[in-house]
Amino acid sequence: MRRSKLKVWIWVWNIQSSNRTVGGRVLSDSSCGSRRRYSPWFCIITILRPSNASDDTWYDVWLNLSFILGKRAHDWTRLFIDGQHTCNMEVRELIRGTVEWSRIELVAEEIATRYDCEISDIRQLEANNWLSTPLIINGRWFVKIVSRQNSLIHAIFTTGRNMGAFSSGTEGFFQHFSTPYEMATYELEATERMRESGLNVPTPVDAFEIDGLGVVMLEYLPTFQPLSAVDTEQVTQHAPEVFRMLATMHESGIIHGDLQAENVLLVDGEVYFIDATSVREGSGKQAKAYDVASALGAISAILGEKETVAAARQSYDAEILLFGLRFIDFVNIRPDHDFNATVLKGEIRKMAEDVGAEVNV
């Protein structure tokens, strides 16, 4: 059983009044402490709540944590998104987000117009997807609808990832998109670039904007299985291919930025990549090492640490694996990863010693 871990993402809002409603609870000067002490910045901790925790208990946890961090929040503001946001919505609603059916119908009508077809089937995928609403349309297209709320959550995640990069001893290299359409366009273009590099990806179809929503259309792969859903034997068979494909991406100047087991698909015995995110130009070695650390973590959780490092060595030299060591702990605190970081780092160091590489990380 995968162990339960507390995942924390930090965001700072500007508080301009003495009372705010957060998660259905009113926060006043008396409940939050002195406004003079915590103004102008108030740090809200967004936590993925365990299923056995009540709302009141969980709100108290993150409220207490926010007070601890509040005194130093002003020192972190340059790491966070500029702007002011009201905080009067449920924490979990903020994370998940929904797109109204009427707006989904607008997207379907636009697709019907663009491709001169009748939309006969719209199926919404049941997925814990924080950055888009995924649909299957006519059994032909995989469509992701990105809302402003999704873009906001992407900004929070980007901030958290850049903080993790700072903590790993490098500058932040993840990049946020200012609009939902930019998010959709980037995914289409990134998929096109991966396809041009000879990698297996869903065929990119289109990206457009309607009613403030960003929409990206890709080929629908009906027989796909994420790497996390297949047995160990299949992971053993395909792990070297995952690292080979990642190395091909890097040689082509492409960074994935969000490699996890859910973003590696098996389709009819072939490995496919999906859902690349954006990193800043010039991030080169650091971003590649982060990709490698993510792949090592994702696969070792299924296959085992020794076998995963051996698979990675078929495509990467000891230097890049050692450089990736600095990102292992950061990758492991992400909510979409769960592996034994200590054992994995030990196996990387052992591999480096076996090949005579200098281990100074």
**What's the whole-number mean pLDDT along residues 300-327?**
94
Angle at 19 between CA 13 and CA 22, to 5 degrees: 55
CATH code at 97-219 = 3.30.200.20
- What pLDDT band is residue 17 in, cutting at 50, 70 and 90? very low
Residue 325, CA distances (Å) to 91, 220, 289, 297, 328 in order: 33, 36, 8, 11, 5
How far apart are the C-alpha atoms of 234 and 227, rounded to whole Å? 9
Q: What percent of the chain has pLDDT over 90?
A: 48
Q: Tell me where in the chain the CATH 3.30.200.20 domain(s) lie.
A: 97-219
Cis peptide before 40 (omega within 30 of 0): yes
The residue ranking higher by pLDDT, 71 or 287, is 287
**What's the whole-number mean pLDDT along residues 69-80?**
37
DSSP string, 5-41: ---EEEEEEE--SS-EEETTEEE-HHHH--HHHH-SE
Query: For 183-197, what is each residue's pLDDT tens digit?
Result: 999 999 999 999 999
Q: Tell me where in the chain the CATH 1.10.510.10 domain(s) lie.
A: 225-354
Question: What architecture is domain 225-354?
Answer: Orthogonal Bundle (1.10)
Across all residues in the chain, what is the average pLDDT? 76
